[in-house]
Structure 1
Amino acid sequence: MRILYVITRSDVIGGASVHLLDLAVGVQDAGHEVLIVVGGNGVFVDKARERGLTCISARHLVRPLNAINDFRFYLELRRIVLAWKPDLIHAHSSKAGIVGRLVAKMMSVPCVFTAHGWAFTEGVSSFRRILYRWIEKTVANLTSKIITVSDYDRSLALRLGVGDADLIVTIHNGMPSVKEPCFVAEASNVTRLIMVARFDAPKDHLFLVRALASLANSDWTMEFVGGGPTMPQVKRLVAELNLQDKIFFPGPCSDVSERLSKADIFCLISNWEGLPLTVLEAMRSGLPVIASRVGGVPEAVTQHETGILVDKHDHEGLVSALGTLIGSRDLCSRMGMMGKSRFFSDFTFDLMLQRTLNVYSDVTKV
């Protein structure tokens, strides 16, 4: 089978990018031919080629809605499809999903779209929700199958009239297993927290910093791994609250697994989510998770068993959750081990890959 993947951005590596790279490698290793089309020529292209994937940079695929660029990308993608003749187009991210489905329909090629959290989800601005709900309703029936990464997103789409129950299937994200870093924790009374996330919407680093400030007298450190446009604002707040000796910013890192292995608690505070891969990474590493109760997060984190879920914008709830786990080694260890067990039963890459390949077979009748 020849599978053409399309994704919008190459300038950042986020959850959708990691998902697609892992999926494309798995599909290629399963014996299928793979080609990726991505907007621009950024870091995603380098990572794809490092992993043995063929990648084409699309000049006119850009994130903002732009009628001229979008039409040019439609023609660009159409030329690629004519030349490569895929058996299936699998689109990821909103812009690539819209244009990809239009091209697939016009070229009579089966098309799958994965929604990594809808652009009309709760927490997004009202204008954006209305606009993208209308767009997704319009293009839904151009799709052979829509994959949502959480039951939350499937239910949201059905409730708002985007597709029907036969069209949309949930396939939870999965992460490949990794060799666990050999690390012996030093005896310490300091609880090490970590958040791995881009400094940008939908993450809310500022809210977490303010909650941590309420526990400034406790023994903890916080590591914010990642980069992005809101980092300077977060650093300013850390300085204003005199937390520079407790909160650290290593930037984007290639050794995330090792850093997770050295941590005690994983945090992810967000305004909206699909099913974040970083939560699954933390569970794979045996960490308890403190996270916002948004999107598909509750489908991965079991309240008071593998972590603590906090309502969005609930300052006191977040302070309480942090206070419960900071310094509680036995509780952290117990929750972390339960989370690790849950990861290996429900969120492995092999499970996700097989379920995705089943969808491919279904829509192509292969």
Structure 2
Amino acid sequence: MRILYIITRSDVIGGASVHLLDLAVGVQEAGHEVIIVVGGHGVFIDQAKARGLTCISALHLVRPLNLVSDFRFYLEFRRIVLAWKPDIIHAHSSKAGIVGRLVAKALSVPCVFTAHGWAFTEGVSTYRRILYLWIERVVANFANKIITVSDYDRSLALRSCVGDADLIVTIHNGMPSAKDTFSATRSFDVTRLIMVARFDAPKDHAFLVRALASLVCNDWTMEFVGSGPTMPSVKRLVAELNLEDKIVFSGACSDVSRRLSESDVFCLISNWEGLPLTVLEAMRAGLPVIASCVGGVPEAVTQQQSGILVDKDDLEGLVTALNALIGSRDLRSKMGNVGKSRFFNDFTFELMLQRTIDVYFDVIKV
């Protein structure tokens, strides 16, 4: 097969970007021909090339809605598809997903769209939610199949009249086994918390900082791994709450697996989610998870078994969860082991890859 992938942004590496890079490598190693179209020139292209993938930088593919740029990109992408002649187009992210489906429909090319969390999900601004809901209802059936990364997102689409049950299939995210193995160097004196996430919506680092300021115990440290536009305001909040000796900002890091191996508890506080890869990465590392009970997170983290889920905006609940895991090494170990077992049973990359390739063949045969 010749598979053309398309994703909107090259300037950041988020969950959808990591998912696509892993998927494209796996599909290529399975013997298929792969090319990726992405907007702009950024870190995504560098990482794709380093992994042996071919990328085309789209001049007019930008994240904000812009009728002029979007129409120019429609024409640009149409030319790329006509020149490369793919057997299937697989679109990722909202903007690329919309234009990708329009072009695929116009040229009668089989198309799959993966929704990494809908742009009309709960927590998104009212204007954005209404706009994207209307757009997704219009273009849903331009795809031959829509993949959601969680049952939550599949149910949300069906309730919102975006496609039907035959069109939408859930394929949970998967993570490759860690290439590097690290011996655990976890301390028993200080509980080391870690959150790996970009400082941008939908993540809520500030809410976690406020909860940490309320902890009655002092035997903890917090590491934030990631960068992004909200980092300066979170740093100011940390200074205002006199937590600078407890909280470390490590920025974007390439050694996340090692940092997880040296941590005790993984946190992910969000206003909305699809199925976050960082949670799966933490489970793979054997860490208990404290996370917001949003989107597909409960499909990965089993409440009170592999972690503790906290309702959005429940500050008291988050403080209680943090105190529980900071205060009990045995509980951390028990939950971490359950999560690791769950990862290898249900969330490996091999499972995700095979299910996705099966969708490709089903779509092409139709």
What TM-score, normalized by structure 2, do the two folds share?
Answer: 0.99
Question: Where do residues 232-247 of structure 1 align in structure 2 (5 Å cutoff)?
Answer: 232-247=232-247
* 1:40-82 deviations in Å (ceiling 9; x for gaps): 0100000000000000000000000000000000010011011
Instruction: Give secondary structure in 2 for the equivalent of 1:98.
Output: helix
* 1:104-161 deviations in Å (ceiling 9; x for gaps): 0111100000000000000000111100000000000101000000000000000010
The answer for the alignment partner of 2:321 in structure 1 is 321
The answer for the alignment partner of 1:215 in structure 2 is 215
Q: 1:228 and 2:228 equivalent?
A: yes
Task: Give the aligned residue type for 1:248.
Answer: V
Instruction: Give secondary structure in 1 for the equivalent of 2:338.
Output: helix
The answer for the alignment partner of 1:294 in structure 2 is 294
* 1:208-253 deviations in Å (ceiling 9; x for gaps): 0000000164200000000000000000000000000000001000
Counterpart Cα distance in 1 of 2:184 and 2:195: 21
Counterpart Cα distance in 2 of 1:33 and 1:74: 23
The answer for the alignment partner of 2:87 in structure 1 is 87
Q: 1:22 and 2:34 equivalent?
A: no
Return closer, same or farther for 1:186/1:278 CA change in 2, 3 Å cut-off. closer
CA contact (8 A) 1:268 1:292 kept: yes
Counterpart Cα distance in 1 of 2:217 and 2:260: 24
Counterpart Cα distance in 2 of 1:187 and 1:142: 53
The answer for the alignment partner of 1:119 in structure 2 is 119
Q: 1:134 and 2:138 equivalent?
A: no
The answer for the alignment partner of 1:59 in structure 2 is 59
- The CA deviation at 1:261 is 0.1
The answer for the alignment partner of 2:271 in structure 1 is 271
Aligned residues: 366
The answer for the alignment partner of 2:193 in structure 1 is 193
- The CA deviation at 1:188 is 3.5
The answer for the alignment partner of 2:73 in structure 1 is 73
Unaligned runs of 5+ in 1: none
Counterpart Cα distance in 2 of 1:217 and 1:115: 41
Instruction: Give secondary structure in 2 for the equivalent of 1:89.
Output: strand
Instruction: Give secondary structure in 2 for the equivalent of 1:5.
Output: strand
- The CA deviation at 1:180 is 4.8
Task: Give the aligned residue type for 2:103.
Answer: V
* 1:281-312 deviations in Å (ceiling 9; x for gaps): 00000000000000000000000000000000
The answer for the alignment partner of 1:308 in structure 2 is 308
- The CA deviation at 1:182 is 2.8
Task: Give the aligned residue type for 1:347.
Answer: F
Return closer, same or farther for 1:188/1:61 CA change in 2, 3 Å cut-off. same
The answer for the alignment partner of 2:333 in structure 1 is 333
CA contact (8 A) 1:190 1:327 kept: no
Instruction: Give secondary structure in 2 for the equivalent of 1:260.
Output: helix
CA contact (8 A) 1:189 1:327 kept: no
Percent of aligned pairs with the same amino acid? 81
Question: Where do residues 140-151 of structure 1 align in structure 2 (5 Å cutoff)?
Answer: 140-151=140-151
* 1:304-354 deviations in Å (ceiling 9; x for gaps): 000000000000000000000003111101100100000000000000000
Instruction: Give secondary structure in 1 for the equivalent of 2:181.
Output: coil
Instruction: Give secondary structure in 1 for the equivalent of 2:327.
Output: coil
* 1:13-62 deviations in Å (ceiling 9; x for gaps): 00000000000000000000000000001000000000000000000000
Counterpart Cα distance in 1 of 2:188 and 2:3: 50
Instruction: Give structure 1 regions of 4+ aligned residues with deviation exceeding 4 angstroms.
Output: none
Higher alpha-carbon deviation: 253-262 or 182-191: 182-191
Counterpart Cα distance in 1 of 2:181 and 2:198: 23
Counterpart Cα distance in 2 of 1:19 and 1:187: 32
Return closer, same or farther for 1:289/1:187 CA change in 2, 3 Å cut-off. closer
- The CA deviation at 1:186 is 5.7
Instruction: Give secondary structure in 1 for the equivalent of 2:146.
Output: strand
CA contact (8 A) 2:184 2:261 kept: no
CA contact (8 A) 1:38 1:61 kept: yes
Unaligned runs of 5+ in 2: none
Higher alpha-carbon deviation: 195-204 or 174-183: 174-183
- The CA deviation at 1:181 is 3.0
Please report the RMSD computed on the Cα atoms of aligned residues, expressed in angstroms: 0.9
The answer for the alignment partner of 2:5 in structure 1 is 5
Counterpart Cα distance in 1 of 2:245 and 2:174: 35
Return closer, same or farther for 1:187/1:203 CA change in 2, 3 Å cut-off. closer
CA contact (8 A) 2:217 2:323 kept: no
CA contact (8 A) 1:154 1:169 kept: yes
CA contact (8 A) 2:8 2:96 kept: yes
Counterpart Cα distance in 2 of 1:365 and 1:63: 33
